[in-house]
Amino acid sequence: MTRLSLFGVFCIFMTGISAGAQDLQISGTGMATELRRRALVLEVNTRVLDDEKVVIWSETLQRIAIPGSPVGIRLAGSNIAIFIQFTPFMHRQGNVLVAHGQVWVNEPGKGVNYYTSIQTIPIDFNEPIYYFPLGAINSSIEILLSVSQYSETAAINNSNTRNDN
């Protein structure tokens, strides 16, 4: 894929696909307690870089995730739309994060092209994971993830923190 012009307004939307993730914010017993015990925190740092690798846009989000339930991220620019689902799986043999990316690019003279990928990434808690939705060669968009265990005492910021440059 050729180097894309990524100028324009970028927006990020991050959603928890699992309705169970919302139950974690409700105090109680039973199902909510079990969900809190298994819950994870997905921290996502997204950056858009220009040709000189200068950050032109960045955003950091944290979301509660339940193993086996995807957390979706949507990025939209003037000529590109990206949808990624990150699904953590916790196993005795090792933890993995499944990343399913979909990219729509409007390239001048070529029209709209669609690319998709799926990757299974071995993970350890609090380990940084780099994900490049446009591929490592065209690293103008980079996502840095980390997965940690949910803690009742941890301060989870469910609102967007925006750092426009």
- Tens place of pLDDT per residue across the chain (165 aa): 444 444 444 444 444 433 334 444 444 555 555 556 678 999 999 998 888 888 888 899 898 888 999 999 998 888 889 999 999 998 888 899 999 999 999 988 989 999 999 999 999 999 999 999 888 777 788 999 999 988 754 544 443 444 444
Enter the pTM of the model.
Answer: 0.71
Residue 5 covered by a domain? no
On whether residue 161 sits in a domain, the answer given is: no
* CA–CA separation, 76 and 35 (whole Å): 32
> 94 lies in a domain?
yes
* Beta carbons of 133 and 115 less than 8 angstroms apart: no
**CA–CA distance, 8 with 12 (Å, rounded to integer):** 13
- Total of domains in the chain: 1
> 53 is in which domain, residue-wise?
11-151
Answer whether 84's CB lies under 8 Å from 100's CB: yes
Residue 1 lies inside a defined structural domain of this protein: no
Residue 127: closest CA among 66, 65, 39, 43: 43
Which has the closest alpha carbon to 57: 102, 127, 18, 9?
9
